[in-house]
Amino acid sequence: MFRELPCVKAEGESFSQDMHPVIEEMPLAVSVNGRHALTAMTSPVMLREFIIGFLYTERIIKDIEEIESIRFEKNTASVLTTNPFKILTSQKTVLSGCGGSMSFLDTEKLPEIDSDLNLNAEKIRNSLKEALDSELHIRTGGIHVVGLYDTEGRITVVEDIGRHNALDRVIGHALEKDIDLSKTYAICSGRISSEMVRKCLVANIPVIVSRGATTTLAVEIAKARGLTIIGFVRGKKMNIYSGGKRVSDMPSEDAGYLEKEQGQL
């Protein structure tokens, strides 16, 4: 996922020739039923899982059984589905630093979370610490990490140049393994955006956790559709923005406070 590239390193007034690990990025053109669907700028790993997760979160497929085949040739992938007419008409370039959605974000049309998952604060902190212990991130400084966990522990952890791509990958992995996503939670290294929230809602992942920030729109949508957002998980600290009922050791009055604040966003 990286190559050693030559660079000139500067420190103060001193310059020296050196090599440095740089994350690989590739374009992947995807066609569905003979029509171009998207071009993604992504890391060259777990491409099948990425495509499955993307098609699912874009609602091009309802389950993995609708995929008849995925064929790869160099930087292109061709997908055949059981419904040859099911493909969005817009074409999308998914940039490595941006959201990958082709869908218009309409909160009322997004599904509500259906899950009885509960987690305590210690499990949330420990899971994030484990998931984000990335040697590749330490070496390159240029990768996002997304993990999928359940109450038993780690299911999979994925690294990608884009956090939205990485989330699609873990969803695709879960679909291939027939994992009940309502029993899982997502860990991510970057900002929780409205697009990350949308993908979790479509996949019925009830909790998303980050060591970073979130956005007002992400919280508004999460509250309306029953998703738990937890940000700034660092050391013993965390901010719970929505769905406090899923944090088992949170006092009930605090969980109620989050619900009351919904109308003030």
d(CA 253, CA 69): 51
Single out the residue of 205, 258, 208, 212 nearest to residue 237, CA to CA: 212
Reduced to 3 states (helix: H, G, I; strand: E, B; else coil), residue 257 is helix
Identify the pLDDT of residue 102: 47
Token pair listed for 159:
């690294």
Active-site residue numbers? Answer: 98
Which residue do the tokens 């050196």 mark?
Answer: 18
198 to 167, 192, 202: CA distances (angstroms): 11, 10, 6
Q: Per-10-residue mean pLDDT for the chain, 265 residues long?
A: 90 92 91 91 94 94 95 95 71 51 70 96 95 79 89 94 93 97 96 94 97 94 95 94 93 84 48
Identify the pLDDT of residue 93: 52
**What residue type is 195 in one-letter code?**
E
User: In residues, how long is the chain?
Assistant: 265
Helix axis angle for 47-57 and 194-203, nearest 10°, is: 90
Domains assigned to the chain = 26-102 (3.10.20.10), 121-264 (3.40.140.10)
**What residue type is 63 in one-letter code?**
D
pTM for this structure?
Answer: 0.89
Single out the residue of 143, 146, 128 nearest to residue 230, CA to CA: 128
Phi, psi (degrees; rounded to nearest 5) at 54: -65, -45
In 155-215, alpha helices (H): 163-176, 194-203
